[in-house]
Amino acid sequence: MPRTVIDLRSDTVTTPGDEMRRAMAEAVVGDDVYGEDPTVSRLERLVAERAGFETALFVPSGTMANQIAIAVHADRGQEVIVPSGAHVYEYELGAMAVIAGVVPRIVPAPGGVPDPADVRRAVTRSKHQAPTGAVVLENTHNRAGGTVVPLDVAAAIGAIAREEGLPYHLDGARAWNAAVALGVPLARVCAPFDSVALCLSKGLGAPVGSIVAGSRHFVDAAHRYRKLLGGGMRQAGVIAAAGIVAVETMVERLALDHGRARVLAEGLHGLPGVAVDLTTVQTNMVYVGVDHADAFVRALATAGVLANAVSSTAVRFVTHVDVDDDDVAQALQVIEEMATRAAAA
Ligand code: TLP
């Protein structure tokens, strides 16, 4: 893609930098299905330690990490409590029904943050209903704007899950962004949970890979599901090596992405025909309301700025390691010209 294109569709679009590519080229590898890839094992130990869990498993994607966790935690025919807009429900193609045989029970989550009382009310115990099997939270919450779930709310929901004897899973595809936004170590964000899914290929810029972490007992069961889903990878050290560089060098810089998203949001705020709720801009995403999202995104693309239409009236911009201050300034200029022209027409 020519450099003149500013790609704000997602933080998944990054390409690995020199240090990552070098680490990939030099990675010591083995057959990870035999548990013999030292680089994969090192990445799993590193992330387990950072997240505060006993152990961890390297998997190809965030979707697989989440769906493995749900399948391990819940039995067929059960309900899984998820916040409204959750990725596990909205964007994982019904996988929880297909793989684990469970159905979602959606609780309201204004700004991505469920009310613990709603979670308690959503737990079903009646003989006439599917019993609850697990509780899922998402932090940051993508669809709500990349918003951060406060630690006390995550803990309060965790206390309810524990009282009810329910496993508690975090879709932490962007938990590192939450940690940086909150100014706490990753382990604090992950503390209330029995399992977490963490992505290396979003803000941290690795080309592929996610981690699912938990107790040894949980990860043993997760291992079986990874294989069952075709996620057993052989000399995966070549990609795990990039994951190690991501975890060791790319976390602190997420603050730059957050700052740039803020600059973008403030620049967009007040433009004609573009609605921005600045309170939702807490990490590396900016969601804006427009009249016709598809047409808006198409027009932007012709001017070299890529964004995603996430509904007929909402567009998402995401900052990441391959977007710098000049790119944000240029994107703003393009959008401003477009919005002003459209308002005058
Ligand atoms: N999100 C992607 C799209 O699928 C929407 C993106 O561009 O944001 N959990 C969360 C919260 C996510 O945002 C994503 C990816 C995943 C899980 C799934 O990760 P992958 O794409 O690795 O399966």
The chain-wide mean pLDDT, for the chain, equals 97
Q: Which of 233, 249, 265 is the last residue of a domain?
A: 249
Which residue CA neighbors atom 1 of ligand 1 most closely? Answer: 87
Dump pLDDT digits (tens) for 45-70. 999 999 999 999 999 999 999 999 99
CATH of residue 275:
3.90.1150.10
pTM given for the model: 0.97
Q: Span 158-178, mean pLDDT?
A: 98
Which residue CA neighbors atom 19 of ligand 1 most closely? Answer: 62
Q: Tell whether 4 is covered by a domain.
A: no
Q: Tell whether 10 is covered by a domain.
A: no
- Is there an atom of ligand 1 within 6 Å of 142 CB? yes
**Residue numbers of the domain that contains 65:** 18-249
Q: Tell whether 3 is covered by a domain.
A: no
Look at residues 203, 167, 195 and name the one whose alpha carbon lies nearest to residue 51.
195
Dump pLDDT digits (tens) for 122-152. 999 899 999 999 999 999 999 999 999 999 9
CATH of residue 49:
3.40.640.10
Assess whether 147 and 162 both reside in one domain: yes
- For the chain, the domain total comes to 2
- Is there an atom of ligand 1 within 6 Å of 10 CB? yes
Q: Span 315-335, mean pLDDT?
A: 98
Q: Which of 220, 249, 278 is the last residue of a domain?
A: 249
Dump pLDDT digits (tens) for 269-316. 989 999 999 999 999 999 999 999 999 999 999 999 999 999 999 999
Please state the separation of Cα 68 from the chain's center in Å: 15
Q: Tell whether 201 is covered by a domain.
A: yes
Assess whether 216 and 103 both reside in one domain: yes
Confidence of residue 101 (pLDDT cuts 50, 70, 90): very high
Q: Span 173-183, mean pLDDT?
A: 98
Q: Tell whether 13 is covered by a domain.
A: no
DSSP annotation of 148: P
Assess whether 45 and 90 both reside in one domain: yes
Specify the residue for token string 């030099």.
26
Q: Tell whether 298 is covered by a domain.
A: yes
Dump pLDDT digits (tens) for 206-261. 999 999 999 999 999 999 999 999 999 999 999 999 999 999 999 999 999 999 99
Confidence of residue 1 (pLDDT cuts 50, 70, 90): very low
Q: Which of 230, 249, 268 is the last residue of a domain?
A: 249
What distance in angstroms lies between residue 156's CA and the mean position of ligand 1's atoms? 25
Assess whether 338 and 234 both reside in one domain: no
What distance in angstroms lies between residue 105's CA and the mean position of ligand 1's atoms? 20
Pocket test for ligand 1, best of 87, 311, 315 (most atoms within 8 A of CB): 87
267-273, long-range: CB < 8 A, 24+ apart: 267/328, 267/332, 267/335, 267/336, 268/332, 268/335, 271/335, 271/336, 271/339, 271/340, 272/339, 272/340, 272/342, 272/343, 273/339, 273/342, 273/343
